[in-house]
Structure 1
Amino acid sequence: MTTAPARNDYLRGNYAPVEEEVSLSQLPVVGALPRELNGRYMRIGPNPTGTPDPAIYHWFSGEGMVHGVRLYDGRAQWYRNRLVRAEGHSPNTNVLAHGGRLLALIEGGASPVELGPDLDRMSVWDCEGALAGGFTAHPKIDPVTGHMHAVSVRPPHGGARYTVLDGDGAVTHVSEIPVDDHPMIHDMALTESRVVVFDLPVTLAAGMRNAQAGLPVSNFPFVWDDRHPARVGIMPHLGSAQQIQWVEVPRCYVFHVLNAYDNADGSLTLDVIRYDEVFIRDLHGPGGSVPTLVRWVINPATGNVDERVIGDYSVEFPRIDERLVGRPHRYGWFAGVGAHGIKITDGVERLHTKESLETGPLVKVDTVTGRTEVRSYGPGRVTMEPAFVPRPGGEAEDDGWILSVVHDANTNLAELVVLDAADIHAEPIARVFLPRRVPFGFHGNWIADSALL
C-alpha cells in the first residue's frame, strides 16, 4: 500500500517557488509610463528552496525572494529577482526604504537585511546591534517627523518591544511590553499621538500545546488560541509599558491595518482587516477564513469599542496614501480576495471556496461613504498588493497611481500594471511585461530614487 502525498495549495500554481535568479534589461511596455516614476518597484515573498515537505510546509516559512523593476524617465530599465541571503538571514515579508537604506524585513528573531539598490549586494543591518534580536515586517513611518515606529515580538521569551528609529535610522527609544503566551504580532497602528499594540489570539503557546498533544502541526508554530484574549494596547508616542492602556476588542485576528487616527473626543479610529479566526482549518496559511474590512472606534476612557463593516467586498493587503499615516484618510486600495471576490452580506456572509488565500481584483473603498469599486484585470488575471504613489504636486487624496504586480494564469507570466488611482476602471496607463511569473507573496512598495542614499 502507498500513501498519496499531502496536498498543500501553498506549493502549487503561482504559490510554487521559482528556481532561477534572472536579470533582464529594457522590458517591453504597453502604454506610457509616467516620467515622474523614477525608482524601483520592489516585491517580496516566500520562495522555498530544496524540496519542502507539503505535509508541514507553511506559506509564511519559505526563504525570502525579492523581485524588482527599475523605472526611469518613462522606461522600464530592468527586472531582477534574488533570494535574500545574508549571514543566515532570509526575510520574506516586506521590503521598504528608511534612512536611505533599502530593507528586507520579517517579524521575529531575524534582523533586517539591507539590499543594494540594484539587488547586487545584501548584508544584515541590525542598527549597531539594537535590532540584533529581531524586528517587525510592519513598522509605521510618521509622515511629519519621519520617525519609524515598530512593535515586535522578541524570541525566545515572547514579550513585545516598542522601538522608534529617527529619520536617519538610529534607534532613539525602546520600551519592553509584557505580554503572555508569545502572541503573533504582525502589524501595529500609529496615530498622530498614539501607538496601538495588538495582542490577539494567535500564539506560540497554543502551537506548542497542539504539538505536545500530537495534533497536526506545520513548520510555522503559531495557531489560533482559544485561551488567549483579544485586546489592543494604547500608549503615547515614546511611551512605556507603565503608560499602556489595554482595551478588549471583538474576538478576531488582524494581520494588517489600513490606518488609524485620533478623534477630537479622545477616542481613536482604527481601520483593520479582521478574521473571525485563522490557523484552525488551514494549518499551512491564512486560508479557510474570510477577511473583512472593519472600522473600530475605540474610547480608551470607557473601554468601549464600536465596530462596523466598511464596504461589501472581502479584501486584504490594505494601502493608503502613506502621507496620511496616523491622520484621517478617506480612500483605501486593496487586493480583493478570491478569483471574483467574496460579497459580505449584512456583514456576516462567510463564503470561501479555496483552502489557500487567493487574491483577485483591485478594490478601492471610500471609507467615508462605504462606496466600493472593483476593477477586474480580466479572466485568469489577479492582482497582488497595490501600492499608491502620489502624483507630484497633486492635491486630491487619490491623485496618483496604483502600481501592482498582476499574475496572468493564461500565460503564466506577470506584469507590473500602472493605473490611475482616481479612476481605477480606466484603461491601464502602462503595462510592463515581466519575463516570468512572480509567485504570490506578501508585500510590495514603490521606492523612489530620492528615498535611497
Structure 2
Amino acid sequence: MTNRYLEHNYAPLAAESYATGLPVTGALPRELNGRYLRIGPNPRGGIDPATHHWFRGAGMVHGVRLRDGHAEWYRSRFVESEQGAPNTNIVSHAGRLLTLIEAGKPPVAISPDLAEMAVWDCDGALGRGFTAHPKVDPVTGEMHAMTYHPGFSTVRYVVLGPDGTAVHTSDIEVADGPMVHDMALTQTRVVVLDLPVTFAAAKRRMQAGQPVSDLPFTWDERHPSRIGILPVHGTAEQVRWVETPRGFVFHVLNAFDNPDGTLTMDVVRYSEMFARDVRGPGDATPTLVRWVVNPDRGTVREEVISDHRVEFPRVDPALTGRPHRYGWFAGFSSRGLLITDDVRRDPAEGFGTGPLVKVDTKNGKTETFGYGDGRVTMEPAFVPRPDATAEDDGWILSVVHDATTDRADLVVVDAADLSAVATVHLPSRIPFGFHGNWVADAELY
C-alpha cells in the first residue's frame, strides 16, 4: 500500500549529514549571525504505510550556521531520547535550544552545534509534556504555553519566566481530549483552542473498525468548536468559552487586544481535519481569516483576509500579542498540502511553484515571490533588520525544496519588496516538515 507522506520529499532521510563551507549565490547579509534551524518527522524503520501519519516518527533537526556573510556549515541530526522524539518545532528560550513536540513529551535541549542533546523538563514542571507552539511575550520575556496529554481531561496553561523557570501553571477542564496544536497570546490574555479533532473520536473510530492512523486524533462531529479566553497568569475559574465558526486551526498568525475589550485573532482555518484523510492534513484547504472575539457577548465575527491558500503563518516576533499589519506564509496547493513531485506532473492542476506569500492584513493586499519552477518553500521565518524602522524591514529565511535536483536551499528574501537576496546551497534535500526559526547568536551566548 502506498502512502503519499512517505514518498518524494515527504520520504525520510536514512542518515545524518555534515558539510562546511557551503556555496552561496548572491550576498548574505552580514547582520545574519546565528543559525537557521528547522525540524520535522523522519521515521527510522518499522513503518506501516497503511497506518503511518505524516506527524509521526523520530525528529530530525537541520541547521545552517551563518556568520559575517558566510555559510559556515550545514548539519542534520536525529533527535531522540528515552522520553520521546520531538519532531515539530525548535525554539530558543533562556539561552537554550529546545526541540518540541506536543501531547505528552518534554522538550529535548540541543547544543548550538547540534552535537549534544538531553531531555529538559524544567525541574519537573514539564514532566507531563509541553507544546509545539509556545508564545514569548517580547516585553516580559515570558514563554506562555498550552500543553496537553491525550490521557488527561485537562489542558495545562504553563508560563516559563525569562530565566527558564516555571512561574505559573493552571489546569483547564476540556472534554474528549482535543488536539491543541497552537494557542494565542495578547498583552493581557491567552487563548485556548478547543476544536473538533479529538482523541475520543479516534478511539470510537477504532472500536467501530474504521480506518485509523498511528496518530490518535480524528475529526469529531460531537465536539464543539470553541476557544477559551483567560487573563495572562489566569486560572481555570477565569476562562470564558466562546463558540467559533466550525472547523480546525493548526496555526495562529497573531492576536491582540482592542480598545473596546474585544480581541483580534488571525488564524488559518480548515472546515474539517482528519475526517477522510486520516494520515495527514488532506481533507480541506486552508483559509486565512480574522476573528474578532467579544468575550462579554460570547461572539466571534469572521472575515476572510486573503483568497490565497496559505499555511505556516509568521509575524515579526517583536509584535507577538500586539497589533500587526503583515504576515508571511508558505503558499499551498488546492489540496492544502505542500506541493510534491506527483502534483507537479499534473499540468491540468496548474502547479509548479510553492511561493512565499505576504499578506497585508489591513487591506488584504497579497503579494507572492516565486522560487522557480519545481521549487517549493517551507515555513518562512521573519528576521528584522537591526534598527529597523518599519514592520517589514528585514528578511525572510526559508528552506526551499528543488524537485528538479532533489536538493534543498536556504533562501533569503527581502521581506519588504520580496526580492531575492541570497541562496545557500545545501548538500542534500530536507524533507517537508514543520517548523523552523532563526536563532541569533545573542540568544544563546
For normalisation by structure 1, the TM-score amounts to 0.94
Alignment match, 1:226: 221
1:20-99 → structure 2 map (5 Å cutoff): 20-99=15-94
Q: Partners of 1:359 and 1:253 in 2: how far apart?
A: 26
Question: SS state of the match for residue 296, structure 1?
Answer: strand
1:403 maps to amino acid:
L
Q: Look up the match of 1:403.
A: 397
Please name the residue that 2:232 is paired with.
237
| Deviation, structure 1 residue 340 | 11
> Is the Cα–Cα contact under 8 Å of residues 94 and 164 in structure 2 kept in the other structure?
yes
Q: Give the letter aligned to residue 407 of structure 1.
A: H
CA drift at 1:341? 8.6
Query: How far off its partner does 1:401 sit?
Result: 0.2
Q: What is the aligned length? A: 434
Distance 1:340 1:369, change over 3 A: farther
Q: Which amino acid aligns with 2:433?
A: G
Name the CA shift for 1:432/1:106 in 2 (closer, same or farther; >3 Å).
Answer: same
Residue 365 of structure 1 aligns with an amino acid whose one-letter code is V
Per-residue deviation at 1:155?
Answer: 4.0
Instruction: Give yes or no for the alignment of 1:316 onto 2:308.
Output: no
User: What is the alpha-carbon distance in structure 2 between the residues aligned to residue 445 and residue 353 of structure 1?
Assistant: 33
Contact 1:191 1:327 in 2 (8 A): yes
Q: Structure 2 regions of 5+ residues with no counterpart?
A: 338-345
Aligned counterparts, 1:410-429, within 5 A: 410-424=404-418, 426=419, 428-429=420-421
Contact 1:271 1:295 in 2 (8 A): yes
Letter in 2 for 1:148: M
Q: Which residue is equivalent to 1:257?
A: 252
1:375 is the counterpart of 2:369: yes
Tell me the distance in 1 between the aligned counterparts of 2:299 and 2:193: 16
Other-structure match for 2:301? 306
Aligned positions of 1:158-307 closer than 5 A: 158-307=153-302
Deviation at 1:86, TM superposition (A): 2.1
Give 3-state SS (helix, strand or coil) of 1:183's partner.
coil
Unmatched segments (≥5 aa) in structure 1: 1-5, 343-351
Q: Which amino acid aligns with 1:331?
A: Y
Structure-2 change in CA distance of 1:205 and 1:353 (3 Å) = farther
C-alpha spacing 1:303/1:339, structure 2 compared with 1 (3 Å)? closer
2:95 and 2:309 mapped to 1: Cα distance?
36
One of 401, 411, 426 as aligned partner of 1:434:
426
Q: Kindly provide the amino acid, as one letter, of the partner of residue 157 in structure 1.
A: F
**Backbone CA RMSD of aligned residues:** 1.7
Deviation per residue, 1:302-321 (Å, 9 max, x gap)? 11211000012010000000
Give yes or no for contact 2:195–2:248 (8 Å, CA) kept in 1.
Answer: yes
Contact kept in structure 1, 2:353 and 2:373, CA below 8 Å:
no
2:100 to 98, 101, 105: 105
Structure 2 letter corresponding to 1:105: L
Structure 1 residue identity aligned to 2:410 = L
What TM-score do the two structures reach when normalised by structure 2? 0.95
Equivalent residue for 2:381, pick from 362, 365, 387: 387
Greater alpha carbon shift after TM alignment, 182-191 vs 82-91: 82-91
SS across alignment from 2:5: helix
C-alpha spacing 1:383/1:192, structure 2 compared with 1 (3 Å): same
**SS of the residue aligned with 1:169?**
coil
Cα deviation digits, residues 52-82 of structure 1 (max 9, x gap): 1110000011110000000001100000000
Give the Cα separation in 2 of the matches to 1:392 and 1:270: 28
Alignment partner, residue 348 of structure 1: none
The residue number in structure 2 matching 1:450 is: 442
Matched residue type, 2:376: V
- CA distance in structure 1 between the partners assigned to 2:154 and 2:390 by the alignment: 41
Distance 2:417 2:110 in 1: 34
Are the counterparts in 2 of residues 252 and 275 from structure 1 also a CA contact under 8 Å? yes
Quick one: which amino acid aligns to residue 398 of structure 1? D
In percent, how many aligned pairs have the same letter? Answer: 63
> What residue identity is the alignment partner of 1:451?
E
- Runs of 4+ that moved beyond 6 A: 339-342
Report the secondary structure of 1:436's partner residue.
coil
1:280 Cα offset (Å): 1.2
